[in-house]
Amino acid sequence: MNKRVKDVVDAIVVAVQRVLDEKVVTESEYRTAVHYLMNVAEHREIALLCDVFFDSTVVATKARRSQASTPAIEGPYYRDDAPLVDDRLKVYDTDDHKPLLIQGTVNAVDGSVVENVTIDVWHSTPDGKYSGFHDDIPTDFYRGKLRVGADGGFRVRTTMPAPYQIPNQGPTGALLETMGGHSWRPAHVHFKVKAPGYETLTTQYYFEGGDWVTDDCCNGVESSLITPDVVEDGARVMNISFVMESAHAEAGANA
Ligand SMILES: [Fe+2]
């Protein structure tokens, strides 16, 4: 027997039973819900549905026991095969070229420099799509791996991402609409910061004043992840100070 699995599943079952009781859910409603979940599986949207409602909670729970920078949901559009880049991500010539400069530092919790840091950066096109997933956009566009300098600094130029809708043509989108919600995410840039001996930091940063920043369908925006509206030499500037903590065993998972 796996005690961890038993503890968590027992708690889920009790929580669902309590809701069924408190909301006086009828047999008909229960059957509708079961058929809905079967439909979610048929549309291969189990991951999407779970991420919309629960991923941000798992991330927030991780953040509470961490001294590192605020983490955020990874989302479905990360690719481990992104190319190494120097100071600029590839973008389309037809891009609207609203320039974005992303720069900052990476340090350990005690302020010391972290060695051999790589930062994966990825974000949407100006029309809200991701390379390698939408419309045959080459996989080396709008994403790349940065090597952080010996002084802990990094800097890369790209263009502004845009808000986008998560897949909304299937049962997940239908449920959000039925609940009076929407499927929009605010414009953001994803980061995955890696270094030997340190916990990998997966996060996203947003733009002050951007659409949907205060109403993300995935509930993924923390105030500390919203960067102020700074423009220098015509480019929006995203200044970030990443803090990494030493690697440690995941609390709970093996308890
Ligand atoms: Fe995203």
Residue 145 has pLDDT above 80, yes or no: yes
Distance 75 CA to ligand 1 centre (A): 6
Give the distance (Å) from ligand 1 centre to CA of residue 77.
7
224 belongs to a structural domain: yes
Domain span including residue 124: 59-244
**33, part of any domain:** no
Sign of CA dihedral 92, 96, 97, 98: negative
Task: Tell me, yes or no, whether 41 lies in a domain.
Answer: no
Helices (H), 86-193: 171-178
**Is the per-residue pLDDT at 189 higher than 90?**
yes
Interval 167-187 mean pLDDT: 93
- 209-223 pLDDT, tens digit each: 999 999 999 888 999
What is the average pLDDT across 102-120?
Answer: 96
User: Do 224 and 208 contact (CB within 8 A), yes or no?
Assistant: no
Using the mean position of ligand 1's atoms as its centre, give its distance from the Cα of residue 102 in Å.
16
Please say if the pLDDT value at position 253 is more than 60. Answer: no
Spacing, Cα 104 to ligand 1 middle (Å): 20
* Residue 127 confidence (pLDDT): 87
Cα distances (angstroms) measured from residue 149 to each of 143, 152, 158, 191, 200: 19, 5, 19, 17, 18
Q: Is residue 13, in this structure, part of any structural domain at all? A: no
Q: Tell me if 11 is assigned to some domain.
A: no
Q: Quick one: tokens of 241?
A: 């100070």
Q: Could you give the dihedral angle defined by the CA atoms of residues 103, 163, 74 and 135, in that order, rounded to the nearest 10 degrees? A: -100
Bigger pLDDT: 252 or 219? 219
- Mean pLDDT over 66-90 rounds to 93
Q: In what order do the strands lie in the sheet with 226-227?
A: 143-147, 118-123, 188-194, 201-207, 226-227
Whether 255 is in a domain gets the answer: no
Task: Identify whether 4 is part of a domain.
Answer: no
Pairing assessment for the beta strands 235-244 and 230-232 based on DSSP bridges: antiparallel
* The total number of structural domains that make up the chain: 1
Give me the CATH number covering residue 205: 2.60.130.10
- Over range 27-44, report the average pLDDT: 97
C-alpha 188 to ligand 1 mean position (Å): 6
**Residue 159 C-beta-side C-alpha neighbours within 13 Å:** 17
Q: Is residue 103 part of a domain?
A: yes
Q: Residue 65 CB: number of other CB atoms within 10 A?
A: 10
